[in-house]
């Protein structure tokens, strides 16, 4: 059993405590020792560098690579899986060794990574997006043409449901297909042309059934939730994380604090919609208008949630924006009042906690899996972080560098 020691660097252990000099020893895919003056069979010189735990992105869509309606219609069905392989590699290159896919990735993609068939971060997957008729996940267009973000296939069943009974069936169908988490839309969204992000979707009775079905199989629910009533419905139902949270108010923040609900801000998502349009993407006017409307409101809401102490985990909605630019989110989080250490904690230890993986991942501590990122220069310089990644280790194996 080879023991590899990372020597002479600073260590960010994931908990938000400050950078400190330490060596880190790994063996057999695990961290075995953290401290001064360690030795081993092999050494990685980390002088002038910082070690971070493998990073997380808690909201990606690895099978989504473009928003443009025309290209979504024209791209051959199976092309998305090859794009996913490329997207996963780009994500891993940033030091992101674990992602939560919030609709699109199916069990085959997850297994291909686990088996080493393609390089990428390990995945927690929702498979589909549970939506009511006319909701954020309904691909219907006024022409009658349906253009969902992810087309159904045998491993990715439909997430459309109306009423508690259908909700139960859809939840069970997605869990059967391998969902680790169920993703539901409790409000409209920016990228759905026919709804309003402020309006609620699904009734409390429907959401109760969903949360109960997930819990029966040891799983949890994440909610695409932008409008404040839909956010509150999600929190009351016991949903574990609110994604986006654009129109959070003080009462919603208070409820999230009381129940320990997580917030995954995805601040970069509306920015990326606007960029795509400025670069010539053909998106319906309603989508463009909504994206422009929400950017400032979103940041202000997230700033208040951070100030109040809501639990934050990093997520980007990549797929809406280009894969491989995920770390842009970190500087935006800092801009909403988080210290660099708090941002990195939200991208490591806290994210692992949200995903229920904190006994295995998210920190640099003996016993945990050896996911490590070697960063050149100042790891707290968040705008520069993406360009400073030198090595990425996953389960004790050098994956990038």
- 38 contact partners, CB below 8 Å, separation of at least 6: 5, 7, 23, 24, 25
User: How many residues bind to Zn ion according to rule CB under 5 A?
Assistant: 2
Closer residue to Zn ion in complex, CB, 243/371: 243
Would you call 232 a catalytic residue per the annotation?
Answer: no
**Of 47-55, 292-300, 314-322, 337-345: span binding Zn ion (CB under 5 A):** 314-322
**Of 4-12, 25-33, 95-103, 390-398: span binding Zn ion (CB under 5 A):** 95-103
Q: How far is the CB of 123 from Zn ion (least distance, A)?
A: 15
Q: How far is the CB of 102 from Zn ion (least distance, A)?
A: 5
240 close to 214: Cβ distance less than 8 angstroms: no
- Distance (Å, rounded) from C-alpha 368 to C-alpha 359? 7
97: left (phi over 0), alpha (psi -120 to 50) or beta: alpha
Q: How far is the CB of 301 from Zn ion (least distance, A)?
A: 17
Phi and psi angles of residue 90, each rounded to the nearest 5 degrees, phi first? -60, -35
- Distance (Å, rounded) from C-alpha 343 to C-alpha 331? 8
Closer residue to Zn ion in complex, CB, 102/174: 102
**Of 100-108, 158-166, 198-206, 385-393: span binding Zn ion (CB under 5 A):** 100-108
Q: How far is the CB of 155 from Zn ion (least distance, A)?
A: 19
Under rule CB under 5 A, residue 273 binds Zn ion: no
Q: Is 164 helix (H, G, I), strand (E, B) or coil?
A: helix
Closer residue to Zn ion in complex, CB, 102/302: 102
Would you call 317 a catalytic residue per the annotation?
Answer: yes
- Distance (Å, rounded) from C-alpha 189 to C-alpha 204? 19
Nearest 10 degrees: Cα torsion 273, 279, 284, 288: 40
Closer residue to Zn ion in complex, CB, 333/400: 333
Instruction: Quote the longest CA-to-CA distance of the chain.
Output: 68
Q: How far is the CB of 356 from Zn ion (least distance, A)?
A: 20
Query: Which of 138, 317, 371, 394 is flagged as catalytic?
Result: 317
Nearest to 288 by CA among 300, 276, 301: 276
Q: How far is the CB of 396 from Zn ion (least distance, A)?
A: 31
**Of 82-90, 99-107, 207-215, 270-278: span binding Zn ion (CB under 5 A):** 99-107
Helical residues (DSSP H) of 260-381, grouped into ranges? 268-278, 285-308, 328-335, 340-346, 349-354
- Distance (Å, rounded) from C-alpha 157 to C-alpha 155? 6
Q: How far is the CB of 378 from Zn ion (least distance, A)?
A: 31
Tokens 């934050």 belong to 312
Residue 329 CB: number of other CB atoms within 10 A? Answer: 28
Query: Which of 110, 183, 219, 290 is flagged as catalytic?
Result: 183
Under rule CB under 5 A, residue 102 binds Zn ion: yes
Using Cβ positions, the residue closest to Zn ion within the complex turns out to be 317
Under rule CB under 5 A, residue 149 binds Zn ion: no
**Of 86-94, 101-109, 190-198, 342-350: span binding Zn ion (CB under 5 A):** 101-109
Under rule CB under 5 A, residue 88 binds Zn ion: no
How many residues are present in the chain?
Answer: 401
224 close to 202: Cβ distance less than 8 angstroms: no
Closer residue to Zn ion in complex, CB, 150/388: 150
| Terminal Cα distance for the chain, rounded | 22
Under rule CB under 5 A, residue 317 binds Zn ion: yes
List, by residue number, the catalytic residues: 183, 317
Could you list the residues that contact Zn ion (CB under 5 A)?
A: 102, 317
């Amino acid at each position: 059993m080879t023991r590899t020691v990372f020597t002479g660097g600073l260590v960010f252990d994931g908990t938000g405590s400050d950078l400190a000099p330490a060596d880190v020893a790994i063996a057999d895919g695990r961290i075995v020792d953290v401290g001064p003056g360690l030795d081993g069979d092999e050494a990685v010189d980390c002088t002038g560098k910082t070690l971070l735990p493998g990073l997380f992105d808690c909201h990606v869509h690895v099978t989504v690579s473009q928003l443009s309606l025309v290209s979504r219609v024209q791209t051959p069905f199976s092309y998305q899986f090859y794009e996913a392989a490329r997207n996963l590699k780009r994500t891993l290159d940033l030091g992101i060794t674990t992602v939560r896919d919030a609709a699109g990735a199916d069990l085959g993609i997850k297994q291909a990574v686990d088996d080493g068939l393609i390089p990428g971060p390990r995945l927690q997957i929702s498979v589909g997006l549970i939506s009511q008729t006319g909701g954020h996940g309904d691909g219907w267009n006024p022409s009658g043409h349906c253009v969902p973000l992810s087309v159904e296939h045998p491993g990715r069943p439909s997430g459309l449901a109306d009423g508690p009974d259908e909700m139960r069936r859809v939840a069970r169908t997605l869990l059967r297909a391998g969902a680790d988490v169920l993703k539901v839309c409790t409000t409209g969204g920016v990228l759905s042309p026919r709804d309003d992000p402020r309006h609620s979707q699904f009734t409390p009775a429907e959401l109760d059934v969903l949360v109960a079905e997930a819990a029966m199989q040891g799983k949890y629910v994440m909610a695409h939730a932008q409008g404040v009533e839909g956010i509150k419905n999600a929190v009351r139902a016991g949903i574990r994380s609110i994604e986006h949270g654009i129109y959070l108010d003080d009462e919603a923040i208070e409820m999230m604090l009381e129940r320990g609900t997580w917030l995954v801000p995805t601040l970069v998502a509306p920015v990326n919609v606007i960029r795509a349009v400025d670069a010539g993407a053909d998106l319906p006017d309603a989508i463009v208008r909504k994206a422009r409307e929400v950017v400032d409101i979103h940041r202000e809401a997230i700033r208040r949630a951070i100030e109040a102490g809501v639990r934050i985990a990093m997520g980007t909605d990549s797929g809406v924006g280009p894969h491989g630019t995920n770390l842009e989110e970190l500087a935006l989080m800092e801009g909403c009042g988080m210290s660099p250490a708090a941002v990195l904690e939200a991208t490591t230890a806290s994210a692992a906690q949200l995903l229920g993986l904190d006994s295995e991942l998210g920190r640099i501590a003996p016993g945990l899996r050896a996911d490590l990122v070697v960063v050149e220069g100042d790891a707290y310089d968040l705008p520069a972080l993406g360009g400073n990644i030198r090595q990425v280790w996953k389960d004790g194996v050098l994956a990038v560098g």
